[in-house]
Structure 1
Amino acid sequence: MAAAEAHSAHNYHPLPVVVGTAEGAWMTDVDGRRYLDMLAGYSALNFGHGNRRLLDAARAQLDRVTLTSRAFHHDRFAAFCTELAELCGMEMVLPMNTGAEAVETAVKTARKWGYRVKGVPDGRAKIVVADGNFHGRTTTIISFSTDPEARADFGPYTPGFTVVPYGDLAAMEAAVDEDTVAVLIEPIQGEAGVLVPPPGYLAGVRRLTAERGVLFIADEIQSGLGRTGATFACEHEGVVPDMYVLGKALGGGVVPVSAVVSSAEVLGVFRPGEHGSTFGGNPLACAVGLEVIAMLRTGEFQQRAAELGDHLHHELNLLTGGGAVTGVRGRGLWAGVDIDPALGTGREISERLMARGVLVKDTHGSTIRIAPPLVVSKDDLDWGLAQLRAVLRG
């Protein structure tokens, strides 16, 4: 740990554990101590560590070809785009690597669509976003962040964004005008503490954007691909956006894979040379992504997240009666738990859980996030919750 701290930039503050191996929902440190992973790489590990199907798909592709760049076709690309589009009920896919790249791609797509299709005057395109958002850390994305930690000292900032309160449909309606090309929101805000919007909010956003001729962009990088008990969090309100932004779990915890998925009208605005990525849609990424799609098609992981998620939230809500837990939010195998600040900060609670063999991550104040891999067993989940109860008792 000391060497890592000495020779790497301090842009993270990890818990003091050094992972050596991992399997399923468990990680083992270099000293042989096992920990229950209750974070799952912020949903990048929805299918668990070392998932055999995903590793086999990656190994098979490693022996064939790993990278061509988009200068050439390769034999996994068409299948990946076709099957991901079908999973999303869309027509076109633009593959990238990281979630932030996918969000940047969505922003560029919306602006170009606004100018070429909607007819917004050049340079005036606006995108409405929600406060408390977390869409990544590029210069453009932090320009519309309301988190001082992510934003401060990185200006000048990119214009063209209007921030409204999350969950406030009236505020969003007031913000959308003739120059608005898109509304970009997380169906559930992860970094903000797993905030679920009020019932009807997503459906209201869908109605508003359809009526005003504005794109509804759903950032499902953390919430999508099974985490909430459905393939997409938008499904809980019967909503289909104009564009999905996907990442994290799409790479199965093996390689970084992200994508923007939309209609031919929207993604069809791009011409060769206008956007791209050397590694976006590479053969190895497509091979792993195809296996992820095949696993999601069975519905098994969505069902596990729904059933175990009901159990998780039932148990967490029982903790709110004693005062140690002041609030619980979330959906599926995803929860934000607000701890009484008198018991410690979120970081301190995370450290105490680590000492008991459970790994979680804090967010603002005294809030911790719980998001185990979807392959976690009920017994292991209950064991992790027992450690949380022990920590709260002091």
Structure 2
Amino acid sequence: MNAKTMAATTDSFVAKEAQYGARNYAPVHVVVDHALDCKVWDVEGREYIDMMSAYSAVSHGHLHPRLVAAAQRQLKKVAVTSRAYYGTTLGPFLEKLSQVTGFERALPMNTGAEAVETAIKCARRWGHRVKGIADGQQQILVARGNFHGRTSTIISFSTEPSYQDGFGPLASGFAHFDFGDMASIRAATTDRTCAVLIEPIQGEAGVLVPPAGFFGELRAWCDENNILLIDDEVQAGLGRTGRWFAFEHEGIRPDALILGKALGGGLLPISAFCADAKVMDVFTPNSHGSTFGGNALAAAVALEGLKVLEDEKLVENSAELGQYLIASLREVQVQAGSLIREVRGRGLWVGVDIDPAQATARELVERLAAKGVLSKETHETVIRFAPPLTITHELIDQAVGIFREVCLEKVRVASASPTVEVAHA
């Protein structure tokens, strides 16, 4: 296939999405045709290293054979019945999830945003029925720069103007604090505060890691004031940061945990809100639910996914290769000079902060894609690297080598640009 035909093939698929789809995304100009483990091939057969893993949804690698086999086995039996009946897969999945998380119960949903909505409902009902706050007066504290999803309730407490623009009226009942700042949390807390909803690392904000000791202080503050600490690990959980859960880095235990993305093994959506009975039991029959939440197919795949994480030691792999990835990217930072302002992250979740005076993150992301590495920018200044937990040293070396090449090319072009002299009258 010649270059002209290849471009036409890619452009035709891009044009079809643009013509018939909503314009709510700005994808990188790559048309994925198939994938396996850490590799992706586009519609023309070009090969890429996946350094994004669908924002952690593909932590097990694309089409992990054990997960595909689990899905195929279940598809021969039953996929969806709704929660009107019991089944043979949900109970075992919930049991395993409880063992892994350390929480007594879990409420399965479909997407991360749905699990966050579940957490909000739980916190509000707990605040009213257990803490005694008047219904309708409950307040949840949220961090500035947060990203918890895109439903109408969740965008109501976003601090990103574009997420709210034109979508009012916005929901009330939320107050903001500065991420990693206990003084800000103390100032925001009132006698109506029932919960703090927080990410252990702010991903969409640029992979921001909190100061050491912050979560320990936050845990103590919540205990002192009878406030629920709800940890949103939709993206951070299940090995992404080099521990099963990011809260383990801080030596604390939240009152509730939100999971999603990787829970579905990269095959289908499933999420969960996890808590002990004293919190979870505010839910009663008909108070909350979802037709597809905890369906037989998703539960079967998620159960196998948890076993794969254990059996293949993918959490340990994330810890080891995460250190290697961060160290490798910091070597590029030194070589690229002022182009890269910072490399930060935990495990296989790294943000590379680009100096906007020299390049946009999107520009470098597109150059990476052209050379065979898939990544994604956030807020125009940060490139995210979050490969499947099955990544190898060799693939990291290849991907970082290409990133180095892209950065140094940018530096050379910038240094070669002639200085324009301005004539003065």
| Same fold? TM cut 0.5 | yes
Q: Distance in 2 between matches of 1:149 and 1:299?
A: 41
Q: Do the aligned partners of 1:343 and 1:392 also contact (CA within 8 Å) in 2?
A: no
The aligned residue for residue 91 of structure 1 is 104
1:287-298 counterparts in 2 under 5 A? 287-298=300-311
Q: Distance in 1 between matches of 2:325 and 2:265?
A: 23
The aligned residue for residue 4 of structure 2 is none
1:296-311 counterparts in 2 under 5 A? 296-298=309-311, 300-311=313-324
TM-score (norm 2): 0.91
Residue deviations 1:271-294, cap 9 Å, x none? 111110000000001001101121
Q: Distance in 2 between matches of 1:285 and 1:374?
A: 21
Q: Residue 223 of structure 2 is aligned with which of 207, 210, 215?
A: 210
1:226 aligns with 2:227: no
Q: Distance in 2 between matches of 1:159 and 1:211?
A: 25
The aligned residue for residue 312 of structure 1 is 325
Q: Residue 370 of structure 2 is aligned with which of 355, 361, 374?
A: 355
Residue deviations 1:22-43, cap 9 Å, x none? 0010100010001111100000
Q: Distance in 1 between matches of 2:308 and 2:190?
A: 41
Q: Do the aligned partners of 2:60 and 2:309 also contact (CA within 8 Å) in 1?
A: no
TM-score (norm 1): 0.98
Q: Percent identity?
A: 51
The aligned residue for residue 389 of structure 2 is 374
Q: Which moved more, 1:247-256 or 1:340-349?
A: 340-349
Q: Distance in 1 between matches of 2:264 and 2:115?
A: 13
Q: Which moved more, 1:24-33 or 1:339-348?
A: 339-348
Q: Which moved more, 1:312-321 or 1:53-62?
A: 312-321
Larger Rg: 2
The aligned residue for residue 18 of structure 2 is 5
Q: Distance in 2 between matches of 1:138 and 1:25?
A: 31
The aligned residue for residue 334 of structure 1 is 349
The aligned residue for residue 325 of structure 1 is 340
Q: Distance in 2 between matches of 1:207 and 1:35?
A: 46
Residue deviations 1:41-83, cap 9 Å, x none? 0000000001011111111100010001001111111111111
The aligned residue for residue 48 of structure 2 is 35
Structure 1: 4+ residue segments shifted above 3 A: none
Residue deviations 1:153-187, cap 9 Å, x none? 11110000001111101111221221111000000
1:194 aligns with 2:207: yes
Question: How many positions carry a matched residue from both structures?
Answer: 394
How far off is 1:316 after superposition?
1.4
Q: Which moved more, 1:312-321 or 1:322-331?
A: 312-321
The aligned residue for residue 358 of structure 2 is 343
Q: Which moved more, 1:46-55 or 1:338-347?
A: 338-347
**Structure 1 residue matching 2:365: 3-state secondary structure:** helix
How far off is 1:245 after superposition?
0.3
Q: Do the aligned partners of 2:339 and 2:359 also contact (CA within 8 Å) in 1?
A: no
The aligned residue for residue 81 of structure 2 is 68
Residue deviations 1:305-337, cap 9 Å, x none? 011011111111223332221111110011110
Residue deviations 1:322-356, cap 9 Å, x none? 22211111100111101122432111111000010
AA at the equivalent of 2:234: I
Q: Distance in 2 between matches of 1:343 and 1:360?
A: 19
**Structure 2 residue matching 1:162: 3-state secondary structure:** strand
Q: Distance in 1 between matches of 2:35 and 2:83?
A: 33
1:365 aligns with 2:388: no
**Structure 2 residue matching 1:352: 3-state secondary structure:** helix
Structure 2: segments with no counterpart, 5+ residues: 1-13, 410-425
How far off is 1:299 after superposition?
7.0
How far off is 1:197 after superposition?
0.3
Q: Distance in 1 between matches of 2:98 and 2:132?
A: 27
Structure 1: segments with no counterpart, 5+ residues: none
**Structure 2 residue matching 1:118: 3-state secondary structure:** coil
The aligned residue for residue 153 of structure 2 is 140
1:171 aligns with 2:171: no
Q: Distance in 1 between matches of 2:110 and 2:387?
A: 23
